[in-house]
Amino acid sequence: MKWFFSVMLAAMCALSLGGRVGAADDKDCRAVLDKAIKALGGEENLSKVKAAHWKTKGKITFNGEDHEFTSKTTMQGMEYYRSEFEGEFGGNKIKGVTVLAKNKGWRQFGSETMELDENALVNEKRNVYLQVLPMTLLPLKHKNFKLETAGEKAVDGMPAVGLKITPPDGKDFTMYFDKESGLPVQLAAKVVGFMGDEFT
């Protein structure tokens, strides 16, 4: 089951301005971020979003086999979060729920329910902002997030520019934005799976 939870978390993550490196780099970072915010509807519209709900349907491939899964996620800010997933893996139907409410959280798999301990809570909060930040971007303007340019690369054959983002927990990740439209197109981060293993 360990590999399943790791792969599941990676799949969900696929679907975060304080210290400065330099004035030129800071200007470049702000230009990329401002363009992305505009591409998502603009700061005024994004600031009105207090809560969101989305559904995901996809496939996870391992051991050469495709396994379909569905998930439903609801969030209010980055302090309240509920995610449910369901799928069939190796002939077994798997259902799970994760809930966060400020500094508390719990997780359920099948009939087993457990409260999130301090480490699990920290890791789950990180997973939340890795999912939420590409949809809102506005928190990245806060002084608690440090931004640096991270070069360019092709994402699905299209040029994209990257920002290295260091959030308050100090665990940086990289977000890439389509060079033409400004939209976020890829996020790369190290995360901790449900069983405590770290992976990209």
- Give the least confident one: 3-7, 28-32, 56-60, 79-83: 3-7
The closest alpha carbon to 175, from 163, 183, 167, belongs to 163
pLDDT reported for residue 38: 96
**Distance (Å, rounded) from C-alpha 67 to C-alpha 58?**
8
The closest alpha carbon to 145, from 13, 23, 7, 33, belongs to 33
Output 155 or 198, whichever has higher pLDDT.
155
Beta strands in 110-193 (DSSP E): 112-115, 146-155, 158-166, 173-178, 184-188, 191-192
Percent of the chain with pLDDT over 90: 51
DSSP single-letter state for residue 196: S
State yes or no: pLDDT of 179 exceeds 50: yes
pTM over 0.85: no
Half-sphere exposure of 131 (CA within 13 A, CB side): 29
H helices of the chain, in order, are 2-14, 23-39, 43-47, 118-136
Tokens 């901790």 found at = 192
Q: Which domains are assigned to the chain?
A: 2-199 (2.50.20)
State yes or no: pLDDT of 7 exceeds 80: no
pLDDT reported for residue 195: 63
